[in-house]
Structure 1
Amino acid sequence: MLLAGCSERVEEFGGPTMGSTYSVKYVRSASAPSVEQARGEVEAILGEVDRQMSSYRADSDVERFNALPAGSCMALPAPMLELVGFASALSRDSDGAFDMTLEPLLNLWGFGPKGRGGYVPSAEAVARVRADVGHQHLSIRGQELCKDAAVQLDFNSIAAGYAVDRVSARLTGLGATSSLVEITGELKAVGRKPDGSPWRIAIEAPQDDRQVAQKIISLDGLAVSTSGDYRNYFEENGKRYSHTLNPRTGAPITHNLASVTVVDESALQADGLSTLLMVLGPEAGGAYAEARGIAAFFVVRKGEGFVSRGSSRFEQLFAAKED
């Protein structure tokens, strides 16, 4: 046992995925897979998610569904139906604050895969596009997803979290009992490093031009997702327009919440909730988190600076000494 413990080391690999990058660290023990095997398994999962849910390739399952007219049904893989069901439940629970049918609006504002650069559309154009937006237009019938309007799905708000959960679980199944998985910024940590110390990650401060740690937390069996409006935006006539749209208005959010981080056992749950809370804003989002026991960390603009606060559940998970 002592020899096995001494031989443990952290292996690391990564690469491009989903228009961004991924990285995996895991403790290589006697039971853990080789780097080659682990990489092959991870990239197989990422390739599957890309083929099913990518909005940036015309041959993906989601883009083929999006091209269908109103009144159509299409058989979809079980993971996609699972995520549609998950998103629909979040939408109902938040009175429409979360919505993964926003792709036409994202394109209209210039933030989607078919956007033509950021600009402020007319109120008439927003109203016209909103007619084909909303989870109420979708229904799952067996293995098929049906739509009664020309709905277009965008999995970008939850696909990475889903992939993190899949990859983390697969690594555990292969015998890697300690790992840190990050995909396009969503991450999950399981177990501890060879020296017994926890995986530690930094919650990023909302800075436009550089990465700065706002808070450092230790994780074991927990996932982290951060949503913010401080990088992807455009300005017109001195006004800032965020890439985060409020489904209820069809327009970018206007409140002063700069970023929100959610910690949960499920990366999928954390991914969806961080987007939802970002839409709700500091007051409504804070109340939503408290009512449901969500571990959330809010960074709010105040004057020229920022103020931060954690929900009750966040403070319970992470003592004040962790900074």
Structure 2
Amino acid sequence: MSLAAVLRPVIAVVCATALTGCLFSDPLESFGGPTMGSTYAIKYVRADGVADAATLQTGVEAILAEVDSQMSTYRDDSLIEQFNRAPAGTCMAMPQDVLELVRLGEGLALQSDGAFDLTIEPLLNLWGFGPKSRGEQVPSAEAIAAARQRVGHRHLRIDGEQLCKDVKLQVDFNSIAAGHAVDRIAAWLEQQGVGSYLVEATGELKARGRKPDGSPWRIAVEEPRDDQRVAQKVLELDGYGVSTSGDYRNYFEENGRRYSHTLDPRSGAPITHRLAAVTVLHPKALLADGLSTLLMVLGPEEGVIWAERQGIAAFFVTREGEGYVTHATKAFDALIAAQGERP
């Protein structure tokens, strides 16, 4: 099992044309395959000077393999798992990409007063949603309190090229690693001369440019349903990453109560609010990925206020009776309008 196997099962954003088979004209190329416990798919416009598909695929898969070897919590030999197994007081040399993600995670944690936390893995394992879990269960208050002693960015620090921990905590990159991989792939494709593409990895996406007929890349946001896949909103995007977080496919029920896989680090327990899903658009897929998780934790009221204050382009879907109500931030509406006006 790999990076995305358990914590990234909610793939609520898909290529809109996938709903009708993703048929393309000749100038469009595509390739894909398995990665990080899920799949990836690349579609791009072929142009003069661009390497052949086999060469591009080799480069993309090398990036995905490197991200997995550095950040997977489902591989005992990954760098972050070696760090996670180490005792309190450990410092370990890490690549710049790992340190960059730790810094970003700390920033999101501080901005959200702890609603986002990369060190939440002990709680995920305790509730049955983590890579070292022993089955889904409702833990005791004492067990939650004990696990929370090993959670918190205050116990994690960067010292030069090393990552250090004060307690025996565990770092989990599943909320941002896929977005990071998408950004790296997009940047590499651009270096190879690809000007128009749609990159998807384990449900995180980024689109740039236009198709040969001048039409935009279209992304379908799904309704938050666990019985079937239905497009709720179709977005036309150029130069943006897209990420959706939701609680409607990964949960368990006990004594008639539903427990979401999305945990609130501040309480140590699954979220209990009515937010079913949130989609975030951002130029960096990495930030779209992390922000969608953060807003999912904050919920429909606190999350909307936070997103509006930060100028985040976000689309919220909240349970209301037997159905759903939606709310888009001002930044989201403005971005969609601007994208639609592009020639």
Q: Say whether the fold is shared (TM-score over 0.5).
A: yes
**Which residue is equivalent to 1:3?**
none
**Which residue is equivalent to 2:9?**
none
Q: Structure 1 residues 32, 321: CA separation in 2 closer, same or farther (over 3 Å shift)?
A: closer
Question: Is the Cα–Cα contact under 8 Å of residues 8 and 27 in structure 1 kept in the other structure?
Answer: no
* 2:261 partner amino acid: H
**Which residue is equivalent to 1:246?**
264
* 1:261 partner amino acid: T
* 2:96 partner amino acid: A
What SS does structure 1 have at the residue aligned with 2:258? strand
**Which residue is equivalent to 1:67?**
85
- Alignment pair present for 1:87 and 2:113: no
**Which residue is equivalent to 1:52?**
70
What SS does structure 2 have at the residue aligned with 1:69? coil
What SS does structure 2 have at the residue aligned with 1:318? helix
Question: Is the Cα–Cα contact under 8 Å of residues 8 and 194 in structure 1 kept in the other structure?
Answer: no
Percent identity over paired residues: 65
Q: Tell me how far 1:8 sits from its aligned partner.
A: 6.6
Q: Tell me how far 1:209 sits from its aligned partner.
A: 2.0
* 1:247 partner amino acid: P
| Aligned counterpart for 1:271 among listed residues 289, 293, 297 | 289
Q: Tell me how far 1:171 sits from its aligned partner.
A: 0.4
* 1:169 partner amino acid: A
Question: Is the Cα–Cα contact under 8 Å of residues 8 and 29 in structure 1 kept in the other structure?
Answer: no
Structure 1 unmatched ranges of 5 or more = 1-6
Q: How many residues are treated as equivalent by the alignment? A: 316
Q: Tell me how far 1:31 sits from its aligned partner.
A: 2.2
Deviates more, 1:42-51 or 1:311-320: 311-320
1:201-212 to 2 correspondence within 5 Å?
201-212=219-230
- Alignment pair present for 1:121 and 2:139: yes
Distance 1:319 1:207 in 2: 27
Instruction: Give the superposed CA RMSD.
Output: 1.3
- Alignment pair present for 1:33 and 2:24: no
Question: Is the Cα–Cα contact under 8 Å of residues 30 and 44 in structure 2 kept in the other structure?
Answer: yes
Q: Structure 1 residues 267, 320: CA separation in 2 closer, same or farther (over 3 Å shift)?
A: closer
**Which residue is equivalent to 1:157?**
175
**Which residue is equivalent to 1:220?**
238
Distance 2:263 2:55 in 1: 40
Q: Tell me how far 1:277 sits from its aligned partner.
A: 0.2
**Which residue is equivalent to 1:132?**
150
Q: Tell me how far 1:114 sits from its aligned partner.
A: 1.1
Distance 1:253 1:270 in 2: 20
Question: Is the Cα–Cα contact under 8 Å of residues 237 and 339 in structure 2 kept in the other structure?
Answer: no
Distance 1:100 1:76 in 2: 16
Deviates more, 1:7-16 or 1:94-103: 7-16
What SS does structure 1 have at the residue aligned with 2:245? strand
Q: Tell me how far 1:117 sits from its aligned partner.
A: 1.8
Runs of 4+ in 1 over 2 A off after TM superposition: 319-322
Q: Tell me how far 1:321 sits from its aligned partner.
A: 12
Q: Which has the higher contact order (CA 8 A, sep 6+)?
A: 2
